[in-house]
Amino acid sequence: MKREYISHIFSSKPFGKRVTIAGWVRTRRDSKAGFSFIELNDGSCLKNIQIIVDRGLSNYETEILKLSPGASIVVRGEVVKSPGKGQELELRADEVKILGWSDPSKYPLQKKRHSFEFLRTIAHLRPRTNTFGAVARVRNRLSIAIHSFFQKRGFIYIHTPILTGSDCEGAGQLFRVTSFDLDNLPVKDKKVDYSKDFFGVPANLTVSGQLEAEVYALAMGNVYTFGPTFRAENSNTARHLAEFWMVEPEMAFCELDEDVSIATEFLKYLIEDVLTNCMDDLSFFNKFIKPGLINELEEIAKGHFKIVSYTEAVEILSRSGEQFQFPVKWGNDLQSEHERYLCERAFNCPVVVYDYPREIKPFYMKLNSDGKTVRAMDILFKGVGEVIGGSEREDDYDVLLERIKETGLNPDNYWWYLDLRRFGSAPHSGFGLGFDRFVQFVTGMNNIRDVIPFPRTPGNINF
């Protein structure tokens, strides 16, 4: 069907022209003067278009007066200036064809506002609401901006695998992948015999594309991967998903300082991009979801990030006089209450924390000469906490081998990763942006389950 997007009608304002549009009815009002108003949305923009349907239309009594929210229609009509307040144009219908009815006694999206908890139970219909439409458009725009940032800088986009035999983060939070009949497992010496499984060895869904991205960085220089990652961590929080999207650039001949600069430049670029391209949707979030959002985004786009070492951060937290639930002690990981204190109270801006204790970070991070800390960096934002985790990678074969053993991993599974340090090793660094957490920050949405179309969390895979 040849049709115009409603967004295009609002931007091009083709007054006097006949157009065809299609979408889903949001509301219908009938005027005593013998016509009806239909608010139609097609997902192309936040705004609904107002359609005026005159009772002279042949199906006015039989169909138009029965139209209710959720029904899908195709409308042909003329774009005219709107005499009413609140919109500058409307469509005078010549023809309204009903494609799909929506029984008003059964359609769940009747009220103007539903709770997000309720909308999660109807994830198949929630994109028809203003909020979820806006989230989807911002998410789309950010995805494109990610590619344009890297492409402009000559990074090569690499498709890293989703099925893998290794555990990048070494944290053991893996979803196993198997073609076994789980009710009838082949057993050898009282253990599952993986040699009979699809790959002949245990396999899992990837927790990160980093290790494979490193392979390509050490051949092509600057690369990035952007795809889904999976973690079986049992964290039932507003910032954790079992399936989330991660953007992971990896740069050869790059040390930690440069890694931090690229990461901060990247975040500012993305924010700048949505401020330029998604203002209608951001204004909606600013009004209904998080007052002050646009101002906050503008400040980050033009402001600076505070950079502190982990050791300094621990000192600041210890001196704060705050009663934290988790003790602040050098060697402990920063908890979200600590991250929030740093961003919200201590500095009131995004914070980069670098040089963490080796014990709390994965095996691949480069060991500092103090022997106690690694060249890690986390970027913390208000509200959502850690949006980026990155590091310079260990490029020394012997040190890396030690670190793999020390963290309890089997070096045999990492032979190819170790090989990169035997043949043409070079300093290299990268980071991972938690895409969904970032979308959460940009939209001001409270819960990460509401920024991904179909959230996967412990006990929840209904859609």
Please state the closest distance from residue 189 (CB atom) to ligand 4AD, in A.
Answer: 35
Looking at residues 162 to 181 of the shown chain, list those that interact with ligand 4AD (rule: CB under 6 A): 168-169
21 binds ligand 4AD (CB under 6 A): no
137 binds ligand 4AD (CB under 6 A): no
Stretch that binds ligand 4AD, among 13-21, 78-86, 148-156, 389-397 (CB under 6 A): 389-397
**Which residue is at the shortest CB distance from Mg ion?**
389
Residue at token pair 């020394």:
396
Residue 241 contacts which entry, Mg ion, ligand 4AD, none (Cβ below 5-8 A, type-dependent): ligand 4AD
Residue at token pair 């985004």:
297
Measure the CA dihedral 410/241/355/345, to 10°. -160
DSSP 395-411: --HHHHHHHHHHTT--G
Comparison of 169 and 450: residue with beta carbon closer to ligand 4AD:
169
Structure tokens at 189: 């010496």
455 binds Mg ion (CB under 5 A): no
Structure tokens at 374: 């690694």
Stretch that binds ligand 4AD, among 37-45, 106-114, 271-279, 434-442 (CB under 6 A): 434-442
272 binds ligand 4AD (CB under 6 A): no
23 binds ligand 4AD (CB under 6 A): no
DSSP 219-280: HHSEEEEEEEEE------STT--SEEEEEEEEEET--HHHHHHHHHHHHHHHHHHHHHH-HH
How many chain residues bind ligand 4AD (CB under 6 A)? 23
Please state the closest distance from residue 369 (CB atom) to ligand 4AD, in A.
Answer: 21
In this structure, the number of other CB atoms found within 10 A of the CB of residue 32 comes to 5
Comparison of 344 and 386: residue with beta carbon closer to ligand 4AD:
386
Comparison of 390 and 444: residue with beta carbon closer to ligand 4AD:
390
389 binds Mg ion (CB under 5 A): yes
CB-count exposure of residue 342 (10 Å: 0-12, 13-18, 19+):
buried
Please state the closest distance from residue 396 (CB atom) to ligand 4AD, in A.
Answer: 18
Stretch that binds ligand 4AD, among 130-138, 197-205, 282-290, 428-436 (CB under 6 A): 428-436
- Cβ 209 vs Cβ 170: under 8 Å: no
First to last CA, the chain: 29
Please list the helix, strand and coil fractions of the chain in percent, rounded to the nearest 5, in that order. Answer: 35, 25, 40
Beta-strand relationship, 163-164 and 203-205: antiparallel
Of residues 173, 147, 190, 319, the one with CA closest to residue 233: 173
CB neighbour list of residue 138: distance below 8 Å, 6 or more residues apart: 274, 278, 281, 282, 439, 442, 443
70 binds Mg ion (CB under 5 A): no
388 binds ligand 4AD (CB under 6 A): yes
Stretch that binds ligand 4AD, among 53-61, 65-73, 350-358, 386-394 (CB under 6 A): 386-394
Residue 246 contacts which entry, ligand 4AD, Mg ion, none (Cβ below 5-8 A, type-dependent): ligand 4AD
Stretch that binds ligand 4AD, among 67-75, 352-360, 425-433, 455-463 (CB under 6 A): 425-433
Tell me the C-alpha distance between 19 and 146, whole Å: 34
Please state the closest distance from residue 169 (CB atom) to ligand 4AD, in A.
Answer: 5
389 binds ligand 4AD (CB under 6 A): yes
361 binds ligand 4AD (CB under 6 A): no
Half-sphere exposure of 212 (CA within 13 A, CB side): 18
- Cβ 36 vs Cβ 30: under 8 Å: yes
Please state the closest distance from residue 252 (CB atom) to ligand 4AD, in A.
Answer: 14
Q: Which residues bind ligand 4AD (CB under 6 A)?
A: 168-169, 208, 210, 231, 233, 240-241, 244, 246, 248, 386-391, 430-432, 434, 436-437
Binding site for Mg ion (CB under 5 A): 389
